[in-house]
Amino acid sequence: MKRSLTVIACLLICLGGRAQKYDGLADKTVAVIGGEFVMLSDIEQEVRMMRTRGYSSDKSLRCDILEQILASKLILSQARVDSLKVNHEVVAANLTDRMNSLLNDLGGEEAVEAYFGKSVSKLREEWNRQLEEMSLTQQEQQEIAKKIPEITPYDVKQFMDTTDVRNIPQIPAQYQMSQICIYPDRNAAKLAAKEKLLGIRERIVAGERFSTLARLYSQDPSNARLGGDLGMANKSVFWTSFSDAAMALKPGMVSNIVETPDGFHIIEMISKKGDMFHARHILIKPEYTTEDMEKGYAVLDSLKNEIQAGNITFEKAALRYSQDAPTRTNSGQMADPNTGSSYYEVDQMKPADYKAISTLKEGEISQPFTSTDNEGRGAFSTDGGNLVYKIIRLDKIIPAHAATFEKDYDVLFNRVQLIKQNEAINDFISEKVKKTYIVIDPMFADCEFSRSGWAEKVRK
């Protein structure tokens, strides 16, 4: 099985430090490849990381890891020969992201140090070096990819003609839609939510336990049962207004009401260290009444009738009456906020939106229904967004189908390009294996490497 260039490049970021023993074996060099060395600890650290992702740590996994490290080292050595330069800005950003992710996942610096058996400063030093190597490896892969001939329509057509039909990319059903949105009276609902939360805060100040009231009243389902406990986390994972309010607190203090796109919060600080803090929160969201819904539905139902009667176009109605700014200015046409595409696959839609259009034919308009917008996508958000009433017109359906040259050329072009790039990378590695001094420890003699050249390098 051939490795993709992405897998090879990303391996470097996952490698950790070098502890002294693994399953009773002292750390040692298990491969020499040109001027680079591979330590047993490199492999075992990656095994440990992959265990957390559900992989079983058998011999096969270690063989796969070693093969990927060897391939990345070959590409790295060529990058050094080509005098490529490290992108230090990208390295610094990736290092920060990686460290923040581990601090959040493991629960702070002490937990990270205990897990890896070394200080955070030492880990930063090692990961910075590995990320620098990753930067060079990725650049070299790009240099290799640049050397492939330009992909032409003939290449795409040849791919279609020579590829088993079962391997042709499958294009899922796609939907193009337009919407008109009406919001309920958010001011009244916000005021009611703030008053409710203020009453809860007064009870806490009077002596009731924050965690007990969080279990009873918090509308954050992810941690209400835990008494609102957010665990130790980096401030960057929260809305800025939330993290700013939290970091201003001393341990034991309770904040005033804090507004985020998810709703209104009060925060109890437990502890903090650097940019990390451990806090509890209670979330109260604005709630709306049946009367709010009936008013919104009545407006939308009237607009739908006017559109169907031909008195106004959907586009003009959206521009004049819709309260969702991004789609109103585009005559109501919806676009996936993640991709910018006006075509949605089913798993990219909000469940309420798909339910509303699932039985429609092209050009038909849904009944008024309740959904959410795209604003509330924060650390606490489970459904995401503010409540909104809407109607949707189903503009176009592209049924699920095997990609065709005429309709899906871009998809096929990208597939052919990726195949050509991976072939170039693999051909490069195969040639380098033949010409590079490589010795692999006999402990890997039983490995079934995907590339035959590796087995020949195992020391007898």
Query: For 57-93, how does the pLDDT look when each residue is reduced to its tens digit (9 = 90+)?
Result: 666 888 999 999 999 999 998 999 999 999 999 999 8
Q: Are residues 47 and 130 in the same domain?
A: yes
- Which range among 38-52, 110-124, 434-448 has the greatest average pLDDT? 434-448
Q: Are residues 377 and 446 in the same domain?
A: no
Domain that holds residue 351: 174-184+289-402
Predicted local distance difference test score (pLDDT) of residue 26: 67
Predicted local distance difference test score (pLDDT) of residue 59: 67
**Mean per-residue pLDDT, 404-421:** 94
Residue 104 DSSP symbol: H
Q: What CATH number should be reported for the domain holding residue 451?
A: 1.10.4030.10
Q: Are residues 24 and 135 in the same domain?
A: yes
Q: What is the pLDDT of residues 335-352, one digit of tens each?
A: 988 788 899 999 889 999
Q: Are residues 100 and 31 in the same domain?
A: yes
The rounded mean pLDDT for the chain is 87
Q: Are residues 428 and 389 in the same domain?
A: no
* Percentage of residues of the chain with pLDDT beyond 70: 90
**Mean per-residue pLDDT, 140-144:** 94
Q: Is the pLDDT of residue 23 over 70?
A: no
Q: Is the pLDDT of residue 457 over 50?
A: yes
Decide if 460 is inside a domain: no
Range with the poorest average pLDDT among 225-234, 319-328, 372-381, 399-408: 372-381
Predicted local distance difference test score (pLDDT) of residue 18: 34
Q: Are residues 9 and 83 in the same domain?
A: yes
Total of domains in the chain:
3
Predicted local distance difference test score (pLDDT) of residue 377: 47
Q: Is the pLDDT of residue 1 over 80?
A: no
Q: What is the pLDDT of residues 255-300, one digit of tens each?
A: 999 999 889 999 999 999 888 899 999 999 988 889 999 999 999 9
**Mean per-residue pLDDT, 307-315:** 96
Decide if 417 is inside a domain: yes
For the chain, what is the HEC assignment? CCCCHHHHHHHHHHCCCCCCEECCEECCEEEEECCEEEEHHHHHHHHHHHHCCCCCCCHHHHHHHHHHHHHHHHHHHHHHHCCCCCCHHHHHHHHHHHHHHHHHHHCCHHHHHHHHCCCHHHHHHHHHHHHHHHHHHHHHHHHHHHCCCCCCHHHHHHHHHHCCHHHCCEECCEEEEEEEEECCCHHHHHHHHHHHHHHHHHHHHCCCCHHHHHHHHCCCCCCHHHCCEEEEEEHHHCCHHHHHHHHCCCCCCECCCEEECCEEEEEEEEEEECCEEEEEEEEECCCCCHHHHHHHHHHHHHHHHHHHCCCCCHHHHHHHHCCCHHHHCCCCECCCCCCCCCEEEHHHCCHHHHHHHCCCCCCCECCCEEEECCCCCCCCCCCCCCEEEEEEEEEEEECCEECCCCCCHHHHHHHHHHHHHHHHHHHHHHHHHHHCCEEECHHHCCCCCCCHHHHCCECC
Q: What is the pLDDT of residues 53-64, one digit of tens each?
A: 666 666 688 899
Q: Is the pLDDT of residue 440 over 80?
A: yes
Predicted local distance difference test score (pLDDT) of residue 48: 72
Q: Are residues 142 and 52 in the same domain?
A: yes
Q: What CATH number should be reported for the domain holding residue 230?
A: 3.10.50.40
Q: Are residues 333 and 363 in the same domain?
A: yes
Q: Are residues 318 and 178 in the same domain?
A: yes
Q: Is the pLDDT of residue 22 over 60?
A: no
Contact 201, 342 (CB under 8 A): no
Q: Are residues 270 and 300 in the same domain?
A: no
Q: Are residues 119 and 13 in the same domain?
A: yes
Predicted local distance difference test score (pLDDT) of residue 98: 83
